[in-house]
Amino acid sequence: MKRILFAAAILAGTAALPATAQQQSQSYKFLQAVKDGKGDEVTKILDQPGQRIINTRDATTGDGALHIVIKRGDDLYLRYLLSRGADPNLRNGKGDTPLLMAIQYGQNGLVDTLLLVKANPNLANSSGETPLIRAVQRRDLALVRTLLAAGADPDQTDNVAGMSARDYAHADSRTPAIAKVIDEKPKTAARAVAGPKM
């Protein structure tokens, strides 16, 4: 009897395998179509009934469709994917959100697009690096202002050096204007919003 149940379980698992393999294959096709800029193919895949592939991630890098289009600076494609339900806070294998990547690649226009759809300016990657920390490190005053206006916390620290955007701004003597802008946002207000650290 145990052998029959075991064999039935194996057959049930095998029967489910093609659906899983098909979904993985569909995910691969979708991400490849996004990489190749094949809009018709992307739309065809997304238009299939019950399709929930929009936030699928690459098995190797963890990049989703938004990460891919941000790397190439494609605002039109970014807007299209967001309109189809892509998650603006999806993290890749390094924990990078689309917002973090847009800042890393100097795509300030894409930052504005992401913030419009409520991308979280305080989501850190696996190193604890926030969008504001990355903007300070890039010495981009306009971007620092944009992120602060969107609610970025200048006192949220990273996991590597235990430093915040405020700390990095003060440590870099080449950017006193950035430190000044950050200092206009009081520490007490930022900590009250973030809550107590445990």
Q: Full-prediction pTM beyond 0.85?
A: no
93, 96, 99, 101 alpha-carbon torsion, rounded to 10°: -90
Q: What pLDDT sits at residue 96? A: 97
∠ Cα 87 120 182 (to 5°): 155
* C-alpha–C-alpha distance, residues 183 and 178, integer Å: 9
Tell me which CATH code domain 1-120 carries: 1.25.40.20
Below-70 pLDDT ranges, the chain: 1-24, 188-198
Separation in Å, CA 101 to CA 53, 98, 125 = 21, 5, 10
- Level-2 CATH architecture, domain 124-198: Alpha Horseshoe (1.25)
Report domain extents, the chain: 1-120, 124-198
- CB 86, CB 118: distance < 8 Å: no
124-198: same fold as 1-120?
yes
Q: What pLDDT sits at residue 178? A: 97
Task: List, for residues 16-40, the tens digit of each pLDDT value.
Answer: 444 444 555 889 999 999 999 999 9
